[in-house]
Structure 1
Amino acid sequence: MTQESAIAVHRTKSPTWLRYALMFHVLAFFWINAFLADVQKFVVAYAASTWYFNTNDRRSWSAVYLKAVLFFWRYHLGSLAIGSLLLMLFRVPSHIYLFLNHRVKQSRNALVVGAYRSMSFCLKDVERLMKSIHVNAYAVVAANGEDFLSAGNTAANLWQDNSWYMLTTNTVAALLFTLTKSSFAILIGFCSGCYFRARSDVVYWFLPTVVCIWLAYYVMNRFLSLFEIVIETLFLCYACEIDSDPTIQKSPKMMVKRADFGFNKYMAYRIQEERCLNNSQITPRGYTCT
């Protein structure tokens, strides 16, 4: 190679601030994503709590979602920012768990595998508990107007006092939602499979069918997540009402009775009350259909 045709190659190292800026933007992306999801949870929780505590006042229902957005923008923007940041930080161990999963599969050490399984079991339970307390904290913020940390403490205490009933409600709701999402995805997959298979210009008909199944499951999952937030918010409002009622607190038998049977009966009464608002007569105990 002659001197004229030689090519000089210089390696430049990226500055430190550029790497920190990249990390900052990645974290900001996940933070903003979690923040927007929390705004949705807060708006739905605010609407559900407004319906629960103001069923007889129809004026409070007008533009309830707009009121929720203005309410969090004026008073609880910091609460949602802190809550989304904490949720993002709690998700970091789950990402570390996924990274270690690939490493542990290649290891043959029984001690490492056992420690990894124990850690993964604890991480899954902690993450599930934190997600539930996180959603319930927004319900407390929407209902009582507390800051996020105080609302998280209140939600944790309510979760501890009513853990059995909350677990039962969440388990039954999760089972029904899973069956609904799976049935909807299977139905869409069957219809799309028949459609794409009947077309002669589609060679690999199973590829768009899989895409349709995934989109159907994703859309139904996002849709039913709203109902899940509503169920948790209504149960939390009911638990707050039980704890704040001095006549119920003085009677342990009444506490157990209302916790066992009151929620279903009360919610059935409130739903029937809402249906009868257009043709109702006001009585001392509420609305009665005519």
Structure 2
Amino acid sequence: MWWYHLVGLIWTSEFILACQQMIVAGTVVACFFSRNKSKLSSHPLLSSISILFCYHLGTVVKGSLLITIVRIPRIILLSLYNVLKEKENACARCMFKCCFCCFWCLERGLRYLNQNAYTATAINGTNFCTSAKDAVLILSKNPAETTAINCFSDFIVSLGKVFVVCFTVFGGLMAFNYHHELHVWVVPLLLLTFLAYLVAHSFLSVFQTIVDVLFLCFAIDIETNDGSAEKPYFMDQELMNFVYQSSKLEKEIRQRNKKTLHNTEYGIELQPMVRNKVQAV
């Protein structure tokens, strides 16, 4: 019976997270695909929430159900791994680790697919399967830009988390330093660090979601419009320049790494020894 409660708890948490992603996606889409940015709604979040509960609850339920279906085998494998951890069966432990990693990668991929499907749903109003298919087709046409934006967002999010945690630890050390009556301050400092990481992760995950939604909106805008007077772009010129410069930098880094690898491999090969003939005088 407790398995039903566990599945319900996981599905509920994933449903709440999916609703948050859908609300953010709807807000960004409404602001992006607007010709007159000065006449936007004064409450875009409330409008996105009302659209979600009126039209797109089925999409959110399907997306959260997929994540729940993938997470349940991970939990089962983790419990079995903890049972086999005390035994000396190295082969079984290795197999469980491989399966656990595969399910983890599958879950990360599904989360990324769900986010793009929610964005396509907010743009076109289609169902979950159609939106996921359209998002995959659009992203597959822009592989360089997708890689560049993902690397940029991951780097900014990781840097932000490190900065917030380090700043919190430094502030905690300075605060505890002025209270000499505290003899055991390691535990409060660790608790403060953990809470700082949770807060940073919560806020920066919203930033990462916005970056992903903006890029998919950019890709759809490029696909459907050509910048002419009949079909002008919805995006700003600054956004277009930033995306193209990021993709160009990513291509240059890849070409440079390929050249470096080729030169290294060529340099370690054994070259034939050439001896000059010295004529005796």
Given the two structures, how large is their TM-score scaled by the length of structure 1? Answer: 0.72
Mapped to 2, the partners of 1:194 and 1:60 lie a distance apart of 45
Rate the CA distance shift 1:118–1:29 in 2: closer, same or farther, 3 A.
closer
Mapped to 2, the partners of 1:150 and 1:204 lie a distance apart of 57
1:131-210 alignment, distance < 5 Å: 131-210=111-190
Residue-by-residue CA offset, 1:109-139 (whole Å, 9 max, x unaligned): 4543543444344323222211110111111
Residue-by-residue CA offset, 1:178-216 (whole Å, 9 max, x unaligned): 111111111111111221243234221011111111111
Rate the CA distance shift 1:67–1:202 in 2: closer, same or farther, 3 A.
same
Given candidates 173, 178, 192, the residue that maps to 1:212 is 192
Rate the CA distance shift 1:156–1:95 in 2: closer, same or farther, 3 A.
farther
Residue 220 of structure 1 deviates from its aligned partner by 1.1
Residue 246 of structure 1 deviates from its aligned partner by 7.8
* Alignment partner of 1:83 is 2:63: yes
Residue 175 of structure 1 deviates from its aligned partner by 1.6
Residue-by-residue CA offset, 1:34-86 (whole Å, 9 max, x unaligned): 11111111111111111211152433332110100110111112221222122
Contact 1:193 1:206 in 2 (8 A): no
Contact 2:18 2:64 in 1 (8 A): yes
- Alignment correspondent of 2:257: none
Q: What is the one-letter code of the residue matched to 1:207?
A: V
SS of the aligned residue for 2:184 comes to coil
Contact 1:79 1:147 in 2 (8 A): yes
Mapped to 2, the partners of 1:183 and 1:232 lie a distance apart of 22
SS of the aligned residue for 2:52 comes to helix
Mapped to 1, the partners of 2:141 and 2:73 lie a distance apart of 28
Contact 1:107 1:113 in 2 (8 A): no
- Alignment correspondent of 2:52: 72
Mapped to 1, the partners of 2:102 and 2:5 lie a distance apart of 30
- Alignment correspondent of 2:9: 29
Given candidates 202, 221, 224, the residue that maps to 1:244 is 224
Residue 222 of structure 1 deviates from its aligned partner by 0.7
CA RMSD of superposed structures (Å):
2.8
Residue 95 of structure 1 deviates from its aligned partner by 2.0
Residue 161 of structure 1 deviates from its aligned partner by 3.1
Rate the CA distance shift 1:201–1:219 in 2: closer, same or farther, 3 A.
same
* Alignment partner of 1:59 is 2:54: no
Q: What is the one-letter code of the residue matched to 2:153?
A: A
Could you tell me the percent identity over the aligned residues?
A: 25
Q: Greater shift after overlay, 38-47 or 158-167?
A: 158-167
Residue-by-residue CA offset, 1:250-277 (whole Å, 9 max, x unaligned): xxxxxxxxxxx99641779xxxxxxxxx
Rate the CA distance shift 1:213–1:55 in 2: closer, same or farther, 3 A.
farther
Q: How many residues align?
A: 236
- Alignment correspondent of 1:123: 103
Q: What is the one-letter code of the residue matched to 1:42?
A: M
Q: What is the one-letter code of the residue matched to 1:194?
A: M
Given the two structures, how large is their TM-score scaled by the length of structure 2? Answer: 0.74
* Alignment partner of 1:46 is 2:26: yes
Contact 2:78 2:100 in 1 (8 A): no
Q: What is the one-letter code of the residue matched to 1:26?
A: L
Q: Greater shift after overlay, 125-134 or 111-120?
A: 111-120
Q: What is the one-letter code of the residue matched to 1:156?
A: V
Rate the CA distance shift 1:55–1:88 in 2: closer, same or farther, 3 A.
farther
Q: What is the one-letter code of the residue matched to 2:48?
A: A
Given candidates 74, 79, 91, the residue that maps to 1:94 is 74
Rate the CA distance shift 1:120–1:102 in 2: closer, same or farther, 3 A.
same
- Alignment correspondent of 2:92: 112
Contact 1:79 1:148 in 2 (8 A): yes
SS of the aligned residue for 1:61 comes to coil
Contact 2:164 2:197 in 1 (8 A): yes
Rate the CA distance shift 1:179–1:86 in 2: closer, same or farther, 3 A.
same
